[in-house]
A and B are shown apart, each in its own frame.
Chain A
Amino acid sequence: MSALLSVSDLHVGFGRTPAADEVVTGVSFTLEAGKTLAIVGESGSGKSVTALSVNRLVDFGGGRITAGSIALTRGDGSVLDVTKADERTLTTVRGRDIGMIFQEPMTSLNPVMTIGAQIAEAFELNRGLDRHAARSAAREALERVRIPDAGSRLGYYPNQLSGGMRQRVMIAMALASNPRLLIADEPTTALDVTVQAQIMGLLAELRDELGMGMIFITHDIGLVAGIADDVLVMQAGIAVEQGPIDRVLDAPQHDYTKHLLNAVPHFRAGQAARKDGRGDAAAPVVAVENLVVRFPAARGIFGGSGEVHAVDGVDFTLKPGETLGIVGESGSGKSTTARAILDLVKITRGEIAIAAGRGKRPVQMVFQDPFGSLNPRLKVDALLAEPAIANGQRVDAALRDRMKALIARVGLPEDALGRYPHQFSGGQRQRLCIARALMLNPEVVVLDEAVSALDVSVQAQVLDLLIDLQRQVGLSYLFISHDMAVIERIAHRIAVMYAGQIVEIGDAASVLSSPQHSYTRRLIAAVPAIERRRQRFTVDMTQVPSLVKPVGYEPPPARWREIGPDHRVREEAA
């Protein structure tokens, strides 16, 4: 059987002199029908450009294919060299032979059209169906991507669907023409882990059902293990290593592949949990009791008023020198809990007791986005001085010495003080944010997804820095993350949040090695891991319960089951 797609010696350049400004230099691969090729690399490695060259979408971004050939076997058996095809032929190729799904499903869908109309449009254009037939084909397409109650969902607008649902809709549209090749560009990066597992499972099932070839682009080498047959590792426009998945993952030849494999935090089900410096029986620095945060929610124009139960009865304590990891997916209330502790949101009910500490403000915070949390118009010295000024200190030699010491402590050069934030990389900026949080000598640092926006190798370094600082300065961390592998490396204790409540809390090793709550189990099962080769995720459609409740609604009191000395789980409704 001849290959579906055969790319040889592909060169792609940008700008006025594409031959001189190449971002892809000499990439070759072949892909057979029913197989998956994963292209892995960090940001800027040329992985997306390579894939976008296959359907020549790269042209619209200003790219030019300067050398090489891309041979695509079309539906009628003819072989087309995509690099030489004219725009007219390409239009038919893009719709019919090659389907594509993008990273951000919200921006790829038209917000003012119902999803039914958008899918039907794809059928009308690609298969020439009339309105009625297209409509019923759209319903079948939604059923094919396992959207329950497909008939009524056709009338939904994109904003009425969750991220995972929207990505399913995108897949349904990409499959409208029964493409022979599907290009998926980071299709799950914007999604929660359990949703990611669903989409991965769905893609694998559909690939087998339809016998199409798939190019899967990702920065997460852990993710490819479950789906790919072959792997292509890219760095700076060059394919540094390629081959069957087992060989690349088990016996990597190139240093960069080894580096990627080592940098990815491996989730090891509690075995990698920290065993050092647990705070013993000392009094807690933060004690949260029955914390409730509710926001008013308007339900439509005529609907009655309701409340979003963002956080619904959360209790935990944080001891000196300890890290409490809070895991959960978007909307689970973990960030709201953090913000409540810092007095950034108004709490509806409950107690937050913070022990008096070394400084005036014992709790400080590091935010997720290292680009958004530093004022771009201020130099680093002004940024670092701000907390001190806010608390009545004067900018004098002593303060400058402290800034210099902290800058050095977080691993930045001394001349950093005179520079602007945009002159630093993402990892360096996050170090700046950590230094700024330490200016006031706090007891507790709240880290809200503090490493999520960083490349994997940088992520590991920042985690090491945090652990070092914790040991030396005696800090307590409240570490919020959706990433189980990251949490496992830094947390002593873990609280799992789901729909505004803590469902399981306890010693990190115990929670991760023997999860008791069904949600914790689902979360752990969804973590992509290099060890779980070609694992099939079962497609289940459990929906997160709505957080919008009528005014005055009170959840039933929690009943807890003790599992171990420091491990308890919320009883689930039968």
Chain B
Amino acid sequence: MRFLAAIFRHPSGRIGATIVVLYLVVAALGALGLTPHNALKQVIIDRLKPPNGTYWFGTDLLGRDTFSRLMLGIGQSFVVAFSSVAIATVAGTLIGLFAAWLGKLWDGVLMRIMDVFLAFPAILLALLVVAIEGPGTITSITAIAIVYTPIFARVVRAPALSLKAREFVEAARTFGSSAGYILTRHLLLNLVAPLTVQITLALAWALLTEAGLSFLGLGTQPPAPSLGVMLSDSKSLMTHAPWLMLAPGLTIMVGILGFNLTGDALRDILDPRSAPRSA
């Protein structure tokens, strides 16, 4: 709780965290079905209505309510972003930790494999996964997780290497602590701060990548609403119904901004130099 309070005290953290919380609430309402209209129901007489009192963000070509679809789309994007980043965090942390801890050949082999993955653009990897699994939510999650795992492995490995050489780890060896104890208590615990920052920033990018994949038709499949699908649908109607493009576009932008601002705030808060000191 103190931690949340600290985020809300930070100027950019306040804005960022408000956005993230707002999105979470909206996504939760959408998941519970508490949308103003049925997001999938086509009301043909109300097609392509501009924003008004009934349809806050207007309707699309098939007469579906844009706002309701956005609510479900945010939920969809969050599911993909959070699960892919969660997988990437666990896998990347494990790989980075073991590479740093085992050193020598293991370090070289593991990190070179990570470098190979890092060399592929996300979309290309996604195409590969699509070729294997076919398009869908699972495909997006798998592709994004594979893209972010090497980033987390690197973020963990570098500080883990320097922590490994710190005196408190050397001290732990002198009284015979087990490798497991040193890895969890001395390395992992000190990696929480950089990991938290990296997770927030990765979420922002995962959000964008998810939208990109769905836009290309590789991720979430219609009719299920998703921000990328909505953007893709608005392409040909840009001049007639600009709200169809603006609504998901701005939603993505503000969401990324929210995660980035939160990440910046976390970076400041978790910096040990800014930690309060008392005698």
A: which residues have CB within 8 A of B? Answer: 342, 344, 360-361, 363-365, 367-369, 372-378, 382, 386-387, 389-391, 422-423, 425, 433, 436, 439-440
Cross-chain contact B175 with A364 (CB below 8 angstroms)? yes
Instruction: Give the bracket for the number of chain B residues in contact with chain A.
Output: 20 to 34
Cross-chain contact A389 with B177 (CB below 8 angstroms)? yes
Query: How would residues 150 to 191 of chain B score, 1 for a CB under 8 Å from any chain A CB and 0 otherwise?
Result: 000000000000000011101111111110010001100110
Given A342-B174, A386-B172, A391-B176, A375 and B279 contact (CB-CB distance below 8 Å): no
Q: What are 19 pairs between A and B in contact, CB < 8 Å?
A: A361-B174, A361-B175, A365-B171, A365-B174, A372-B166, A372-B168, A373-B167, A373-B171, A375-B185, A375-B186, A376-B190, A377-B192, A386-B185, A389-B177, A390-B175, A390-B177, A390-B178, A422-B275, A422-B277
Least CB distance, A230 to chain B, in whole angstroms: 34
Question: In this assembly, does B236 line the interface, its C-beta being within 8 Å of a C-beta of chain A?
Answer: no
Contacts of A375 in B (CB 8 A): 168, 185-186, 189-190
Q: Kindly state the separation between the CA atoms of A363 and B171 in the bound complex, as whole angstroms.
A: 12
Contact of A390 among B166, B172, B278, B279 (CB under 8 A): B172
Question: In this assembly, does B53 line the interface, its C-beta being within 8 Å of a C-beta of chain A?
Answer: no
Cross-chain contact A386 with B277 (CB below 8 angstroms)? no
Cross-chain contact A391 with B189 (CB below 8 angstroms)? no
Contacts of A342 in B (CB 8 A): 174
Q: Kindly state the separation between the CA atoms of A88 and B161 in the bound complex, as whole angstroms.
A: 46
Least CB distance, A235 to chain B, in whole angstroms: 18
Residues B119-176 near A (CB distance < 8 A):
166-168, 170-176
Question: In this assembly, does B272 line the interface, its C-beta being within 8 Å of a C-beta of chain A?
Answer: yes
By beta carbon, the residue of chain B nearest A420 is B275
By beta carbon, the residue of chain A nearest B191 is A377
Cross-chain contact A423 with B277 (CB below 8 angstroms)? yes
Q: Kindly state the separation between the CA atoms of A342 and B168 in the bound complex, as whole angstroms.
A: 14
Cross-chain contact B175 with A344 (CB below 8 angstroms)? no
Q: Kindly state the separation between the CA atoms of A400 and B86 in the bound complex, as whole angstroms.
A: 37
Contacts of B186 in A (CB 8 A): 375
Least CB distance, B2 to chain A, in whole angstroms: 14
Interface of A is mostly: loop
Cross-chain contact B275 with A344 (CB below 8 angstroms)? no
Residue of A363, A368, A423 with most partner-chain B CB within 10 A = A423
Interface of B is mostly: helix
B: which residues have CB within 8 A of A? Answer: 166-168, 170-178, 181, 185-186, 189-190, 192, 272, 275, 277-279
Contacts of B167 in A (CB 8 A): 367-369, 372-373
Given A342-B174, A386-B175, A378 and B278 contact (CB-CB distance below 8 Å): no
Contacts of A422 in B (CB 8 A): 272, 275, 277
Contacts of A365 in B (CB 8 A): 171, 174
Contacts of B175 in A (CB 8 A): 361, 364, 386-387, 390-391, 439-440
Contacts of A382 in B (CB 8 A): 185
Q: Kindly state the separation between the CA atoms of A123 and B144 in the bound complex, as whole angstroms.
A: 58
By beta carbon, the residue of chain A nearest B163 is A375
Contacts of A360 in B (CB 8 A): 176
Least CB distance, A297 to chain B, in whole angstroms: 19
By beta carbon, the residue of chain B nearest A422 is B277
Contact of B181 among A367, A369, A386 (CB under 8 A): A386
Q: Kindly state the separation between the CA atoms of A376 and B190 in the bound complex, as whole angstroms.
A: 8
Contacts of A344 in B (CB 8 A): 170, 173-174
Least CB distance, A546 to chain B, in whole angstroms: 25
Contacts of A373 in B (CB 8 A): 167-168, 170-171
Least CB distance, A142 to chain B, in whole angstroms: 36
Cross-chain contact A378 with B189 (CB below 8 angstroms)? yes
Contacts of B166 in A (CB 8 A): 372
By beta carbon, the residue of chain B nearest A378 is B185
Given A372-B167, A375-B189, A425 and B279 contact (CB-CB distance below 8 Å): yes
Least CB distance, B193 to chain A, in whole angstroms: 9
Least CB distance, A248 to chain B, in whole angstroms: 31
Q: Kindly state the separation between the CA atoms of A373 and B166 in the bound complex, as whole angstroms.
A: 7
Given A361-B175, A372-B167, A389 and B181 contact (CB-CB distance below 8 Å): yes
